[in-house]
Amino acid sequence: MTAGLFRRATRPLLIAAAILGAIGGAGATDILSDTAPIPDKVAPGTRLVIGDPLIKVALTLSGELQKLPFKVEWANISGGPQTIEAFRAKALDIGSVADIPPIHAQWTGLDVKIVAAKFRLDPIANPIYVIATAPGSGIARLEDLKGRKIAFSPGQAQGALVLRVLKKLGLKHSDVQLVELPSVGDAYVNALASKLVDAAPIAEANKQRFVQNYARDGARALPHGLRDDPAYLYVVKSSLQDPDKAAAIREYVKAWGRAAKWIDSHPEEWVKGYYVKDQGLKEDAGRFLIESNGRPDVPLDWSAAIERQQETIDLLAAELRQPVLKAQTLFDRRFERVAGAAYQGE
């Protein structure tokens, strides 16, 4: 593994022209400092561009969308590479990602802050990813990964998981062959099916279909036994420096927390409104996904999350030859209790 893998992960992605130039608050000229209190009121006309497709659906189904005290433009953007590129294009205020994109953004010179955090109450029993193996690979357990080709995306959560699995197994990079592939759509499943790689992290949500299609040819989906559950909202720092936008961002974080609670307490409505109507799945598949997701954990205290984030930074910095960041600088602790309090109905 070389730093070149990391640099190539920053290739520009196309951003929809419809959202270019959409960034703009209500015209505030004062710069809000990192330690200044977030204003209590959202100024009229304040607008945010948000890349959070799942929560858009939840807010619509729950009736919360019309209650947002600011104008919102939804961007059909998710995942680290897309959100980072949109931030650079000044076409996005808020993105929804896992734990790696905020780190990756800082290493590429983009100042971002985490403003909301959500996890799973039982992350080992309800992982986001499994390690899938290609048909005919002969891989029956994680220890068999030695000497094999593994799909790897340096700037995404799947890439970090691969590094964690190697560390757990006591393997070095020289013990495997990391094949750089962006984990977009079904890219990893297709790479496995075509035997371009021997193993790859795929979403737990895709496990059932993958096993049904390829188990007869020897493919497997192996549990890794590691935490892979962080879900963050992060924002570009310039948006937080605008007092009007900062106030609107706090209101969105509240809505985000309430949406997490609504999803958890309305499983049937969520199956029909999101998995069936929005995602085009069958109801039984939606119920399987709800079960595999488990219960959410929206903490009021970020201390444990920051500690785990530091462990991730230390691992990635060593493996990708990047400077070590202080995890606490990635979190804007003015927002620490906002989502958790909203989730609890405070």
* pLDDT per residue as tens digits for the range 71-93: 999 999 888 889 999 999 999 99
Same domain flag for 152 and 273? no
Buried b (16+ CB within 10 A) or exposed e, 59-80: bebbebbeebebbbebbebebb
Contact present, 151 and 188 (Cβ < 8 Å): yes
Domain termination site, one of 196, 222, 248? 222
The CATH number of residue 153's host domain is 3.40.190.10
Q: Considering the entire predicted model, what is its pTM?
A: 0.89
Per residue, the 3-state secondary structure of 39-75, as one string, reads: CCCCCCCCEEEEECHHHHHHHHHHCCHHHCCCEEEEC
* pLDDT per residue as tens digits for the range 132-175: 999 999 999 999 999 999 999 988 899 999 999 999 999 988 89
Please count the structural domains in the chain.
2
Q: How far apart are CA 30 and CA 109, in angstroms?
A: 24
* pLDDT per residue as tens digits for the range 249-271: 999 999 999 999 999 999 999 99
Q: How far is CA 309 from the centre of its chain?
A: 13
Same domain flag for 108 and 236? yes
The pairing of strands 71-74 and 47-51 is parallel
Domain termination site, one of 200, 222, 244? 222
Residues in the chain: 346
Domain termination site, one of 222, 252, 269? 222
Please report where in the chains the tokens 């019309």 appear, as a residue: 66
Same domain flag for 116 and 10? yes
- The domain in which residue 183 lies consists of 129-222
Residue 163: phi and psi, rounded to 5, are -65, -40
* pLDDT per residue as tens digits for the range 166-182: 999 999 888 999 999 98
